[in-house]
Structure 1
Amino acid sequence: MKLFKQLFKFYINSSIHVGLSCYALVRMTQHMFHISSDKPIADFVFFGTIVGYNFVKYDALARAKKLKMRKELKIIAVFSFFALLLVGFYFFQLQRITQIVAIAFLSITLLYTLPFFPNKKNARNWAGVKIYIVALCWVGVTLALPILNADVSITLDFYLKCIQRFILIFVLVLIFEIIDLANDDPHLQTVPQQIGVRRTKMLGYVLLIIFFGLEFFNSNVNFQFSLLPLLLIFAIAIIIALFLLFANGKRSKYYTSFWVESVPILWWLMVLFL
């Protein structure tokens, strides 16, 4: 049991779980746009997410010398290094345009973490913008990159899926912000800090209705609605709504870092089995 707890803790702390969430959304994009299995882009996103999230989580603490290199963190550092090597390996298997856009999102990640301007905070600490940067990056990495790499034509469906994906990530981050409300710096101006928990939840419910409603405007080649995607979207919206309903500051960190981040994985598994 102790070994299982240690492995689970490493699985979460090393960002493997969030990497799988991104991987699942890439696979969802490929399914939605009928892209034949494109393993390099999916693996690039998986390992890139691990490297990016570990960099964001541990860099600031390491530079401030507030992070002692315990055994687990040393293992995570080594793991992240090998993940970085795999990121480079898969990067050179991507289309040129995909590489360029991927570098653009890497720049946003660096801006999010590192203070580029003297006496200025990094983007992570800019008041009120964190949630938008995170949602934008997830949309770009899990939707735009697979589309570009497969050379799929940009149609109305693409833009609708971008809005849907943005709303999905936005609402998931709202849950994180509610859970972290007591610990977040007031200067961050997160959504719950600005409008309160109750109104944040109401905002989330409205966005989930829009998230589901947009599916009626998505179409396949013959412009005919398919019942199964609608049911899956509805199920995912209900699941997220329940997570949002029961979100509060007393919840364990695993409420978000495992359960909430499992939503994209669950969505992908539902598609695979159904």
Structure 2
Amino acid sequence: MNLDKHKFINYLLFIIAVSLFWTCSPELSYGVKSFLFDGVPSPNTTEILVVKDSLQTLKQNTKEILVSTIQKNEFNLHPPYQERDCTSCHDRNNMGKTKLPIPELCNQCHTDFSKKFETLHGPVASNNCIQCHTPHQSKLKNLLVESSKKLCLSCHDSNQVSENKIHKDIKKTSCIECHNPHGGSNRMILQSESCYKCHDNYKKEYKFLHGPVDTGSCFQCHGTHKTKAPNLLINSGDNLCLSCHDSKDIIKTKYHIDIKNNKCIECHDPHGGKNDKFLLNKQ
């Protein structure tokens, strides 16, 4: 009886030793394990997870895994594309065409710039959002199809840009630091405070501000590039002041009775001052 038990132990140890030896290879390991156990998966079989296009049909945990995988890539993704919510923009029943024309489709979520700005940038005015933005993914911020300056120069002639003395020292400055890419209140669609990149910021200098300065409307008085009047004024002398201020109301004030040919800016600072009349210090 003891002899049989001894043989059994030796036989078991032999099987274990052989198992350890053969399991060094996945294929041989499968042979040993499948001999001893049922249901061992073959190393030659790859489990494939088939995921349908819409995340709405997936289990929540599978959806989270897929979304997190997408987020790890180097692209910036349009939210509907990131969530695989294609039907928010596309009509499955109409060959995948967009549900609405651009920019009406874009304006469902984004600002309608045609209602925000008086002057529109060409692509905005022509309803061509995807001329500058990709609708799905981009390595660039704001889903741009090219880096901002390179994108601008794909339409605007670099030679004409550099000829302008205002652009003499822009070097690597991005165009959108001064120009709004969608629109603005002036022909050059300049950002409201772009002038302060080179000129004094009167908002920080004065307690009281002249209306156009307070609203950032520099171009209400100044041209953007060149004019015949000094200081790039759009009109000369008092004609500019009187285009907004009523001359009859001015004459009614006793201080203005004998102004004759005096210029407004001889007494008033056109940008602002420490008093509500913007009087110069000498007054």
Q: Shorter-chain TM-score: which interval? A: under 0.3
With normalisation by structure 2, the TM-score equals 0.21
Higher relative contact order (CA closer than 8 Å, sequence separation 6+): 1
With normalisation by structure 1, the TM-score equals 0.22
User: Over alpha carbons, which structure has the higher Rg?
Assistant: 2
Looking at secondary structure, tell me which structure has more helix per residue. 1
Looking at secondary structure, tell me which structure has more strand per residue. 2
